[in-house]
Amino acid sequence: MTETTARIIDGRVHAERLLTRVKTEVARLKTERGLQPGLAVVLVGDDPASQGYVKSKGEQSLAAGMHSVTHRLPADTRQEDLLRLVGELDVDPLIHGILVQLPLPKHLDESAVIAAISPDKDVDGLSVINAGRLVAGLPSLVACTPTGCLILLRETLGDLTGKRAVVVGRSLLVGKPIAQLLLAADCTVTMAHSRTVDLPSVCREADILVAAVGRPRMIRGDWIKPGACVIDVGINRVPFDNPEQAAAGKTKIVGDVHYKEALGVAGWITPAPGGVGPMTVAVLLQNTITAAKRQAGMVA
């Protein structure tokens, strides 16, 4: 049996800490400036996972004292109708942040929908302009999950200067922005992916290993440098190990890291679920506050 050495990074604890700050700031803005940050979330279709995420976002924003609006559209919604709704929200003075839940049904053009959101209201940080601002080191709204990862790293490790970071995964949603955030934090960053030659050796160089490749348990324990900090962004649904449960069609969520193996090697690790996930919603609310301040001409 593997001896456990890693310390668990409980994302729920860190998220609650951030949500407390969010609630305090929302109350201050309402009292001192008459400003109530407003978030609109758009859900197209009936994907169960997306419904759960949208429900959580709505509940958390209301609990924080924000103005919260959720639009649920049928799966056969036309592109022009979705773009029309986004346009209406874009000019609504009560809405400071717009999030269109991804993935969209296949007949819809995600890139066109994201491009229709004003960069100042793009609280998911996915627009080309916000991505470009991030690369250029300019003020931007940064994707929620990568920002949550950076918060976990800083609150766990403190100063990140000089640390070797390896990011496995190159998506626009996580891999590329977290690499830019780590560079800005003065890490030495390697971008890797599923086609990287001798990926295990590359991973073993990392003081900070961010797994965002979208493959269940791909990162094995012997890929990890002893004492490294492992941030597992993966959310993969797989059958239960128990044959009876698997035969019944029951599934569970696992990360991109083989968690049990990693526990005996890593210094710190995020579980999946319960690690990065809770931070994503908390950062979304923080981004909405930032957007509201900027639109009101305040320093964010």
**Whether residue 202 sits in one domain with residue 164:** yes
Domain end among 56, 84, 118: 118
Whether the pLDDT of residue 300 is over 90: the answer is no
Q: Enter the DSSP assignment of 219.
A: B
Task: Name the pLDDT band for 248 (thresholds 50, 70, 90).
Answer: confident
105 and 149 in a single domain? The answer is: no
Structure tokens at 260: 């049990």
Q: What are the tens digits of pLDDT across the range 60-117? A: 999 999 999 999 999 999 999 999 999 999 999 999 999 999 999 999 999 999 999 9
If asked whether residues 182 and 82 sit together in one domain, one would say no
Say yes or no: 181 and 252 in one domain.
Answer: yes
Residue 4 banded pLDDT, cuts 50, 70, 90: low
pLDDT at 2: 47
The helix/strand/coil state of 73 is strand
Is 12 inside a domain boundary? Answer: no
Residues 6+ apart with CB under 8 A from 197: none
Whether residue 107 contacts residue 48, with contact meaning beta carbons closer than 8 Å, is answered with no
More confidently predicted of 112 and 2: 112
Weakest mean pLDDT among 36-40, 46-50, 234-238: 46-50
Same domain, 181 and 249: yes
Residue 233 belongs to some domain of the structure:
yes
In-domain check, residue 207? yes
Cα separation of 159 and 177, whole Å?
Answer: 19
Chosen domain end from 118, 134, 168: 118
82 shares a domain with 159: no
Alpha-carbon distance 166 to 168, whole Å? Answer: 6
pLDDT at 3 over 70: no
DSSP character at residue 39: E
In 119-250, DSSP assigns E strands to 164-168, 188-192, 208-211, 229-232, 236-239
In this structure, of 86-100, 153-167, 243-257, the range with the lowest mean pLDDT score is 243-257
Residues 85 and 206 in one domain: no
What's 165's domain CATH number?
3.40.50.720
173 in the same domain as 71:
no
pLDDT digits (tens, 9 = 90+) for 195-219: 999 999 999 999 999 999 999 999 9
Q: What is the pLDDT of residue 1?
A: 37
178 falls within a domain:
yes
d(Cα 277, Cα 174) in Å, to the nearest integer? 12
Domain range holding 155? 143-277
The residues facing 232 across adjacent strands are: 211
pTM: 0.92
- What integer is the mean pLDDT of 150-154? 98
The Cα–Cα gap between 112 and 102 comes to: 13
Mean pLDDT of 27-32: 98
Residues 78 and 174 in one domain: no
Q: Which phi and psi angles does 187 have, rounded to 5°?
A: -85, 160
Cβ-contact 40, 87 below 8 angstroms: no
The residues carrying an active-site annotation are 57, 101, 124
> pLDDT tens for residues 259-271?
999 999 999 999 9
The Cα–Cα gap between 101 and 123 comes to: 12
Q: Does residue 113 lie in a domain region?
A: yes
* Domains: count for the chain: 2
Q: Tell whether the model's pLDDT for residue 136 goes beyond 90.
A: yes
**For position 49, what pLDDT does the model report?**
79
Indicate if 163 and 241 belong to the same structural domain: yes
55: domain CATH number is 3.40.50.10860
Q: How far is CA 272 from the centre of its chain?
A: 13
- Quick check: is 58 in a domain? yes
CA dihedral sign of residues 7, 12, 258, 101? negative
Q: Residues 162, 247: one domain?
A: yes
Tokens, residue 237? 């649904």
pLDDT value for 114: 96
Query: 153 and 265: one domain?
Result: yes
Which helix H or strand E contains 69, and what residues bound it? Answer: strand 67-73
**Given its phi and psi angles, is residue 162 left (phi above 0), alpha (psi -120 to 50 degrees) or beta?**
left
In a domain, 191, yes or no: yes
In a domain, 159, yes or no: yes
Predicted local confidence at residue 240, as pLDDT? 84
Q: What are the tokens at 70?
A: 């959720």
